[in-house]
Amino acid sequence: MADNARAKRLADLIREVVAQKLQRGIKDPRLGSHVTITDTRVTGDLREATVFYTVYGDDEERAAAAAGLESAKGILRSEVGRAAGVKFTPTLAFVADALPDTARTIEDLLDKARQSDEKVREASAGAAYAGDADPYRKPGSEDETDGDAAE
C-alpha cells in the first residue's frame, strides 16, 4: 500500500496530464474548452483514479461531454501512464462534480435569507419597544428592591 503523499502526488499529476491532453491533444468536439478538471483522487493502492470535472453549459452539453470523456478514457490513461512512469497505470473514472450545483443552491438559499432579512428590517423600521428599551435593572436605580425584605 502506498503512502498518502505518493497518492496525492499521483493524483495531482493525473489532473495536470488529463487537463493538458483535453486542452491540446483530443480532437473530440464534445470535449471543447467548456470541460474543466476540478479534482482527482487516487485510491491507496494506486490502482484507481477518480477524475472530477465540470462542464460549462446545459444538460445536453454535459451529457455529450460525459460520452466524450468515456470514449477518450483509453487515450487519457495511456498518456497518464507515459507521464507517471509507474508500474501499473491507474484506471480512470470520470465523475461530474456536484460542486457548482451545490454552490448554486447555497447562493439561492442566501438570497432567500437576504430577502427575508430585508422584509423584517422594513417591518421593524417604525416599530417601538413594548416596554423600556433596556428592561434590565441597574444597580442604584429607584425600583431596586432589597432581597431580604421579601423573606
Would you say residue 143 lies in a domain? Answer: no
Residue 54: count of CB within 10 angstroms of its CB? 19
Which residues lie below 8 Å from residue 4, measured CB to CB, with a gap of 6+?
Answer: 44
Q: What is the pLDDT of residue 106?
A: 92
139 assigned to some structural domain:
no
pLDDT of 151 > 60? The answer is no
0.85 exceeded by pTM: no
Q: Which residue has the cell 442604584?
A: 140
Asked if residue 111 belongs to a domain, the reply is: no
What CATH number has the domain bearing residue 63?
3.30.300.20
3-state secondary structure of 94: strand
Q: Which residue has the higher pLDDT, 127 or 82?
A: 82
Q: Is residue 92 part of a domain?
A: yes
Contact 11, 18 (CB under 8 A): no
For the chain, the domain total comes to: 1
Q: Is residue 150 part of a domain?
A: no
What is 15-40 written as a DSSP string? HHHHHHIIIII---GGGSTTEEEEEE
Domain that holds residue 77: 1-98
